[in-house]
Amino acid sequence: MLGPLLDLLLPRECAACLIPGSHLCVTCSGDLWAVAPEWVQPQIVARPDSRGIGRAVVRAHKERGQHALVEMLGALVSDATTHLLNGAGHWPPTTPVVLVPVPTRRRAYGRRGFNPAASVAAAAVNDLTPHTRAVVRHLVTLVRQPGDQRGLGASDRVVNIAGTMRCRRSAPASLIVVVDDVITTGATLNEVMRALVANDATPLGAVAAVATPLARPSAQ
């Protein structure tokens, strides 16, 4: 009874095409899943999002609070993580996979009330298990608040985010995968991996639910 009542009070519409009925319509969902995850940069796997459907889902989740979409984003990250693990060769099945979400800016957290990358990583763990032993660990923190990345080009994003992060604790002996909801130029994910390496960790790579066309170095 609660679900239909909420739909009456807060009508659902597709995050991408805005057609009423569901948080993501069957057509947009099918178009999103029709594209396979791939290596968009060295060490980074994501699903290319040339049509912007995935980015619309990300925006609806983190800017409009449509938390029902987190399971979809988690499944996309789970798929990308599996692709990353398969490309890493063989490892003992008992080796845990540690998903490290990118930290969020203090101002963004205050506005949203949650860390989108952490929510997506937690949903990905639920999607990965029991086939993969996965946990979320907040290993990296911000030591300096970067400016808003929106509107910045690739080189400016690198300058803006450089040196803003460090490891808050020792990294476990496991397969470490950095997680974000979207990769635009890769600056944030690469900064998290830099902070991990500086603390003698060896991240396997990074994943995101979707990648913008700017994610590929040739497009920067």
User: What's the CA gap between 85 and 93, in Å, rounded?
Assistant: 11
For residue 169, which amino acid is it? R
Asked whether residue 210 is domain-assigned, the answer is yes
Structure tokens at 84: 């990353």
Q: Are the CB atoms for 159 and 188 separated by under 8 Å?
A: no
Asked whether residue 24 is domain-assigned, the answer is no
Q: Are the CB atoms for 168 and 139 separated by under 8 Å?
A: yes
Q: Does residue 220 register a pLDDT over 50? A: no
Residue 20: DSSP 8-state: B
- H or E stretch covering 107: helix 106-112
The confidence score (pLDDT) of residue 152 equals: 60
Asked whether residue 100 is domain-assigned, the answer is yes
Q: Are the CB atoms for 18 and 64 separated by under 8 Å?
A: no
Q: What share of the chain is helix, strand, coil (3-state, %, to 5)?
A: 40, 20, 40
pTM of the model: 0.87
Each residue's pLDDT tens digit, 156-184: 676 667 767 889 877 776 789 999 999 99
Q: Does residue 131 register a pLDDT over 60? A: yes
Mean pLDDT of 143-151: 70
Each residue's pLDDT tens digit, 89-123: 767 667 889 999 999 988 888 889 999 999 999 99
Asked whether residue 23 is domain-assigned, the answer is no
Structure tokens at 71: 């399971």
Asked whether residue 2 is domain-assigned, the answer is no
Asked whether residue 16 is domain-assigned, the answer is no
Q: Are the CB atoms for 132 and 121 separated by under 8 Å?
A: no
Please give the tally of structural domains in the chain: 1
The confidence score (pLDDT) of residue 3 equals: 42
For residue 55, which amino acid is it? R
CATH number at residue 201: 3.40.50
Q: Are the CB atoms for 74 and 47 separated by under 8 Å?
A: no
User: What's the CA gap between 173 and 56, in Å, rounded?
Assistant: 36
Domain extent for 160: 35-219
User: What's the CA gap between 203 and 42, in Å, rounded?
Assistant: 12
User: What's the CA gap between 172 and 114, in Å, rounded?
Assistant: 25
Asked whether residue 177 is domain-assigned, the answer is yes
Asked whether residue 8 is domain-assigned, the answer is no
